[in-house]
Amino acid sequence: MQLQRHLESAIKNGHLPAEATLPAERELAAMTGLSRVTIRKAIGQLVEDGLVIQRRGSGSFVAPKVQRMEQSLSRLTSFTEDMQRRGMTSSSELLESGTYLPSPEEIVSLGLASGEQVVRIKRLRRADGIPMAVETSSLSSEFLPNPDDVVTSLYEVLSEQGIRPSRAIQRISACKLTQEQAELLEVAPGDAALYIDRTAYLPSGRVIELTTGVYRGDIYDFVAELRSA
């Protein structure tokens, strides 16, 4: 507990700056005279508190400082556009992608004809390298025949074909991150997050995408402007 408190205050007062690498377990054990089990427990607690991040193969380091960001709910924009507007660079890590037989929900929601296939892409979205959200998008394969075309921006690939959603319905609910989601987002499992699904429509009224995503609760504030009727 003493080691944990000591590291915690070093992180909070900036002696250990954001993204600094922590000494390896072995070194900390030699420095403190504590057992490696004790060291592991102390670091494990800091990971749970979101102060330290562990990456397989590259050790433990101080969690990067992230500023909360406000996301407007009144404009239909893409993740890449939102990040560009903030002067940040977006990137996508493709976690899964492929062409599948649609689920009953996809058939109904995407208005698929019989025999039509669906393309799904699951991506980790980063802004300036910081993981922000994990999103899974389903589209008719008519609009996106090759999911691997999406390197960074889905909307950009669609725009190149003259396709752009003009309207969307979004549902936001609260959720807790699973172990897998937390590892990807580099926060602690069980942390609060926002679960958002978006159904986006083309001007013709046809649904172009169904996207569900989990967004880090410690970063995102979704803001809507309200006017009296």
Alpha helix segments (H runs only) across the chain: 2-12, 25-32, 36-48, 79-85, 104-110, 154-160, 179-185
Residue type, 72: S
What gap in Å lies between CA 195 and CA 188, rounded to an integer? 16
Among positions 164-183, residues that touch ligand 16G (CB under 6 A) are 170
Q: Counting contacts by CB under 6 A, is residue 155 touching ligand 16G?
A: yes
Which residue in 43, 48, 38, 37 sits closest to 22, CA to CA?
43
Among positions 74-103, residues that touch ligand 16G (CB under 6 A) are 78-80, 90
Choose one: 27-35, 44-52, 104-112, 153-161; the region binding ligand 16G (CB under 6 A): 153-161
Query: Site mask, ligand 16G, residues 119-148, x = CB under 6 A?
Result: ----------------x-x-----------
User: What's the closest the beta carbon of residue 132 comes to ligand 16G, in angstroms?
Assistant: 9
Helices 2-12 & 36-48 angle (0-180, nearest 10): 40
Q: Counting contacts by CB under 6 A, is residue 153 touching ligand 16G?
A: yes
Q: Counting contacts by CB under 6 A, is residue 106 touching ligand 16G?
A: no
Residue type, 142: E
Q: Counting contacts by CB under 6 A, is residue 60 touching ligand 16G?
A: no
Q: Counting contacts by CB under 6 A, is residue 209 touching ligand 16G?
A: yes
